[in-house]
Amino acid sequence: MYKSLCWSYEEEVRIVKNISVAPFGYHFSRITDAVIDNQSWKRVQLPTRPIYTLELPKESFVEVYVGKNAYIDQKRKQELNGVVVNHQVDNFEKLKEICSDRNIPLNVVSVDLESWSLKSKQIDLSGN
């Protein structure tokens, strides 16, 4: 695992856990749930590989950051499958609702083209 240098200022914790004792197979597995060290893990099959997920307590989330293209990317995906009405992108609206309900700041991150530093701006969740 590595982290791009432009994110080096960010204080972040990445955790790696050995789940080799799980009954999951890497290339194929009908088993999707396992308990490892009293934690419930799930195997989710993506088109190219599996990922293993662990549910975290809600209080673990204190801030959310999305890239400046997140809205545009989600809008394009929604337009492929349906219609976007009043610029309301379902996945983005759901994220805003979750953050608002849990009082978690939601921020959009972009690159300052003069300094190449990252800058963030908090999204107003009040609906005003």
120, HSE (Cβ side, Cα atoms, 13 Å):
15
In the chain, the percentage of residues whose pLDDT exceeds 70 is 85
Phi, psi of 54 (to 5 degrees): -135, 130
pLDDT at site 81 = 84
Are residues 12 and 50 located together in one domain of the fold?
yes
Is the predicted pLDDT of residue 9 greater than 80, yes or no?
no
- d(CA 63, CA 78) in angstroms, rounded, equals 25
Are residues 88 and 43 located together in one domain of the fold?
no
pLDDT tens, residue by residue, 38-80: 888 888 888 888 888 888 888 888 999 998 888 888 888 889 8
Are residues 100 and 39 located together in one domain of the fold?
no
Are residues 45 and 1 located together in one domain of the fold?
yes
pLDDT tens, residue by residue, 104-122: 999 999 988 888 888 999 9
- d(CA 71, CA 41) in angstroms, rounded, equals 30
- Helices marked H in the chain: 70-81, 90-101
Q: Could you tell me the residue range of the domain that residue 84 belongs to?
A: 60-128
pLDDT at site 4 = 67
Region at 91 (left for phi over 0; alpha for psi -120 to 50; beta for the rest): alpha
Radius of gyration of the chain (CA): 18
pLDDT at site 12 = 63
